[in-house]
Structure 1
Amino acid sequence: MKVNTKLQLSLMMFLEFFIWGGWFVTLGTFLGHNLKASGAETAMAYSTQSWGAIIAPFIIGLIADRFFNAERILGVLHLIGALLMYQMYAAIDFAGFYPYVLGYMILYMPTLALVNSIAFSQMKNPAKEFSFVRVFGTIGWIVAGLIISYVFLWDSEVSRQEGLLKNTFLMVAIASAILGVFSFFLPKTPPKVGKDEKVSVSSILGLDALKLLRDRNFFVFFISSILICIPLAFYYQNANPFLSEIGMDNPTGIMTIGQGSEVLFLLLLPFFFKRFGFKRTLIAGMLAWTVRYLLFAYGNADDKAFMLIIGIALHGICYDFFFVSGQIYTDSKAGAKYKSAAQGLITLATYGVGMLIGFWVAGEITDSYLVREGEHSWVDIWSFPAIFALGVMALFTLFFKNVQVEYKSN
C-alpha cells in the first residue's frame, strides 16, 4: 500500500472515531445538565446507537454494496450528519433533541462498516496492514476526550453550569463536515454486488448464521454476549455523568485511560489466549465488569479516586477479553461459508438487541435511585450491573465447555 494511501486511510479513521468520541462519551452529562433529561430519556438517546446498528445493515447491504462507491456514501452521510449535529447543538429541550440524535445515529452507524470496507479494499495484506490504520481511530477517540477536558474545559464544573458542554456537538459538526468533504478524495471503492444480483434480508442481517446456534457452546456464547451488553450499557450511559456528579476533575479526559487500556490489552490478548485459553479469557473479561462496577460503587473523587481510575483502566480487559475474543471465536466457528453472516449476527445481537435492552435497564435503574435533582445513589446503581455481570459469568462458566481457539492477530 502506498504511503499516501496509508495516510489517507489513517486520517479517515482518526476523524471517524474523533467524531464518535467527541460527543457520545459526554452525552449523558449534557442531557442531564443542559436539557434536564431523566434517566429514561437519556436511555432513549443512547438507544439510538442500537437502532442505528439494526438499520445499518440495510443501508450497507441494499445501497452501498450495490449502487454507489463506498467513499461517496461515506461523504454524503457525514455531510448530512454535520447538519444534524448542528441541530443537536442548537436544541433547547429533549423533545427537540431526540429526532436529530436518532436520525444522526441511523446515518452514522453504517459509516463504521464503510470505513472498514474502504480500508480493506486498498490493502494487499489486511492481516498485517489494518492494525496500523485502525489504531488511529482509537487515537482520534482519545484526542477528542483530551480536547474536551484539557483544551476547552467543557466538562469542568463551571463550564457545565454555564451549559458549555453543548459545544462538543459544534466541534463534532465541524469534524463531520471535514470528513464528509475529505471522503470524496479517498481511494475509489466501487460496489461489490451487481445491481441485478439478488440479496436476501436474512443474508444482510446475518441470519444465515443462525444455524450455528445448534451448537451448544455457540448458543451459550451467543446468549452471554447479549446479556453482558446490559452491564456494558451502564458504562456508556452513566460513567461520565457519574464522574461529573461526584466532582471528578476532567472526567472526559480521564476516561480516555480506558481507550489506552484497550490498545494495551489488545496487544496482550495473544498471550492470554495461549496461556489461559479461550474460556478463561472470556471469564476474565466478564469478571472484570464486576470488579469495575464495585470499584465505581465504593470509590470517590477524593481519597478513593484511585479506585475509579483502576475501574476505568479495566476497560481494556472488559472489552477486549470478551468482545474481541468473541469475534475471534465466532470467526473460528463460522467457517468460510458463514464468516460475514456470523459476524453480522453477533453485531446485531450485541450492539442492536443487547445494548437496546441494556440502555433501557440502565435508564430505569438510574431513575429509581435518584435521591434528589442532580444526586443519585451510585452505590445502588453500580451494584446492579456488578451483580448481573457476575451472574452472566457464572452461567457461562457452568454451561460453556472449553475449546481450543486459534488467535489470528490483525
Structure 2
Amino acid sequence: MSKLVRFQLSLMMFLEFFIWGGWFVTLGTYLGYNLDATDVQISTAFSTQSWGAIIAPFIVGMIADRFFNAEKILGILHLTGAILMYFMYQSTDFTEFYPLVLAYMIAYMPTLALVNSVSFAQMKDPAKEFSFIRVFGTIGWIIAGLVISYIFFWDSPESRQEGMLKNTFLMVSIASAFLGIFSFTLPKTPPSADKSKKVSVVETLGLDALGLLKDRNFLMFFLASVLICIPLAFYYQNTNPFLSEVGVENPTGLMTIGQASEVLFLLLLPFFFKRFGFKLTIIAGMLAWTLRYLLFAYGNSGELIFMLITGIALHGICYDFFFVSGQIYTDFKAGSKYKSSAQGLITLATYGVGMLIGFYVAGLITNAYVTGDKMHEWETIWVYPAAFAFGVLLLFALFFRNEKIDKKDIEI
C-alpha cells in the first residue's frame, strides 16, 4: 500500500467516526435541553441507529456489492447525510427532528461497512494492516468529543441553556460534505459480487447462518449478545445527559476516556483471550458492565467523581471483551461456509434487534424516574442495567460450556 493510499484511508476512517461521535454522544442532552423531548422520545431517536443497522445490509449487500463502486456510494450517502444534518441543525421541535434523524441513520449505517470494504480492497494482508487504519476512526471519535468540550464548550451549562449544542449538527454537516466529496477521490472499489448469481434476502441479512443456533454454545452466546445490548443502550442514551445533569464539567470530552480505553484493552485482549479462554473473557466483559453501572449509581461529581471516571474507563473492557471477542468466537464457530453470514447475523441481532429493544426499555425506565424539572433519580435508574447485566452473566456462566479455541483462529 502506498503512502498516499494509506493517508486517504486513514483520513476516511478518521472522518467517518468523527462524524458519528460529533453528534451521537450529545444527542440525548441536546434533545432534552433544547427540543424539550421526553425520555421516551429520546429513546425513539436513539433507536434510529437500530433501524439503520437493520436496513444497512440491503444497501450494502444488494446494491454496493453488486452494482456500484463502494467509494461512490459512500460519497453519495455522506453528501445526503450532510444535507440531512443541516436540516437537523435547523429543527425546532422533536416532531420535525425525528424523521430527519431516521433518514440520516438509514444513510449513515451502511457507510460503516463501506469504509471497511474500501479499506480491505487496498490491503494485501488485512489482519496486519487494517488495525493501523481503523485506529484513526477511534481517534476521530475522541477528537470530536474534545472539540465539543474543550474548544467550543458547547456542552457547558451556559452553552446548553443557550442552545449551542445544536452546532454539533452543523459541524458534522460540514464534515459529512467534505467526506462525501473526498470519497470520490478514494481508490476505486468495484462491486465484488457476481451479478449473474442471485442473492436472496436471507443471504443478504446473514440469516442463512441461523443453522449455527443448533449448537447449544452458539445459541447461548447469541442470546447473551442480544440481551447485553439492553444495558448497552442505557450507556449510549443516558451517560451524557446523566453527567450533564449531575454537574460534571466537560462531559463529552470526559467520555472520550472510554474510547481511549477501548484502544488499550483491544491491545490486551489477545493475551487475555489466549490465557483465560473465551468464556472467562466474555464473563469479564459482562461483569464490567455491572460494575460500571453501579459506579454510575453511587458516584457523584464531587468527591466521588473518580467512580464516574472509572465507570467510563471500563468501556474498553465492556466493549472489547464482549463484542470483539464475540466476533472472534463467531468466526471460529462459523467456519468457511458461514463466515460473512454469521458476522452479519450477529450484527443484525445486536445493533439491530438487541439495541432496538434496549433503547425502548431504557426510555421507559428513565422516564419512570423523572423527579421534576426534567431531573432524574439516577441512582435507581442505573441499578436496572447493572442488575440486568449481572443476570445475563449468570445465564451465560451457567449454560455456556467452555470450549477451546485454537490460537491460530485468533486474529485481531
Query: Which TM-score band applies after superposition, normalised by the shorter structure?
Result: over 0.9
5 Å matches for 1:90-101? 90-101=90-101
Comparing 155-164 with 269-278, greater Cα deviation is found at 269-278
Which residue number in structure 2 is paired with residue 173 of structure 1? 173
Tell me the secondary structure at the aligned position of residue 242 of structure 1. helix
Aligned residue identity for 2:345: L
Q: Is the 8 A contact 2:85 2:170 kept in 1?
A: yes
User: Post-superposition shift, 1:276?
Assistant: 1.2
User: Post-superposition shift, 1:20?
Assistant: 0.2
5 Å matches for 1:186-205? 186-205=186-205
Which residue number in structure 1 is paired with residue 411 of structure 2? 409
Task: Report whether the alignment pairs 1:350 with 2:347.
Answer: no
Which residue number in structure 2 is paired with residue 242 of structure 1? 242
User: Post-superposition shift, 1:409?
Assistant: 2.9
Aligned residue identity for 1:7: F
Tell me the secondary structure at the aligned position of residue 270 of structure 2. helix
Q: Is the 8 A contact 1:282 1:321 kept in 2?
A: yes
Which residue number in structure 1 is paired with residue 207 of structure 2? 207
Which residue number in structure 1 is paired with residue 3 of structure 2? 3
List gaps (5 residues or longer) in structure 1.
none
Which residue number in structure 2 is paired with residue 381 of structure 1? 381
Distance, in Å, in 1 between the alignment partners of 2:317 and 2:384 is: 20
TM-score (norm 2): 0.99
Aligned residue identity for 1:169: F
Which residue number in structure 2 is paired with residue 333 of structure 1? 333
Aligned residue identity for 1:105: M
Aligned residue identity for 1:151: I
Q: Is the 8 A contact 2:330 2:342 kept in 1?
A: yes
Structure 1, residues 59-79: CA drift from partner, whole Å, max 9, x if none? 011110111100000000000
Q: Is the 8 A contact 1:85 1:173 kept in 2?
A: yes
Which residue number in structure 2 is paired with residue 143 of structure 1? 143
Q: Is the 8 A contact 1:245 1:374 kept in 2?
A: no
Distance, in Å, in 2 between the alignment partners of 1:203 and 1:105 is: 23
5 Å matches for 1:226-241? 226-241=226-241
Distance, in Å, in 2 between the alignment partners of 1:409 and 1:252 is: 32
Structure 1, residues 209-249: CA drift from partner, whole Å, max 9, x if none? 00000000000000000000000000000000000000000
Distance, in Å, in 1 between the alignment partners of 2:7 and 2:326 is: 30
Structure 1, residues 159-216: CA drift from partner, whole Å, max 9, x if none? 0010000000000000000000000000000011233320110100000100000000
Distance, in Å, in 2 between the alignment partners of 1:177 and 1:219 is: 42
Which residue number in structure 1 is paired with residue 86 of structure 2? 86
Comparing 160-169 with 187-196, greater Cα deviation is found at 187-196
Distance, in Å, in 2 between the alignment partners of 1:217 and 1:409 is: 21
Comparing 191-200 with 278-287, greater Cα deviation is found at 191-200
Which residue number in structure 1 is paired with residue 24 of structure 2? 24
Tell me the secondary structure at the aligned position of residue 187 of structure 1. coil
Structure 1, residues 31-70: CA drift from partner, whole Å, max 9, x if none? 0000010111001100000000000000011110111100
Comparing 222-231 with 195-204, greater Cα deviation is found at 195-204
Aligned residue identity for 1:361: V
Which residue number in structure 2 is paired with residue 72 of structure 1? 72
Task: Report whether the alignment pairs 1:111 with 2:91.
Answer: no
Tell me the secondary structure at the aligned position of residue 274 of structure 1. helix
Distance, in Å, in 2 between the alignment partners of 1:21 and 1:315 is: 15
Task: Report whether the alignment pairs 1:40 with 2:40.
Answer: yes
RMSD: 0.6
Distance, in Å, in 2 between the alignment partners of 1:195 and 1:278 is: 39
Distance, in Å, in 2 between the alignment partners of 1:194 and 1:202 is: 17
5 Å matches for 1:351-366? 351-366=351-366
5 Å matches for 1:241-390? 241-390=241-390
Distance, in Å, in 2 between the alignment partners of 1:144 and 1:171 is: 10
Tell me the secondary structure at the aligned position of residue 285 of structure 1. helix
Aligned residue identity for 1:304: L
Distance, in Å, in 2 between the alignment partners of 1:217 and 1:373 is: 47
List gaps (5 residues or longer) in structure 2.
none
User: Post-superposition shift, 1:271?
Assistant: 1.1
Distance, in Å, in 1 between the alignment partners of 2:276 and 2:39 is: 39
Which residue number in structure 2 is paired with residue 61 of structure 1? 61
Q: Is the 8 A contact 2:65 2:192 kept in 1?
A: yes
Q: Is the 8 A contact 2:328 2:411 kept in 1?
A: no
TM-score (norm 1): 0.99
Distance, in Å, in 2 between the alignment partners of 1:306 and 1:91 is: 37
Aligned residue identity for 1:175: A
Aligned residue identity for 2:410: K
Count residues with an aligned counterpart.
410
Structure 1, residues 310-344: CA drift from partner, whole Å, max 9, x if none? 00000000000000010000000000010000000
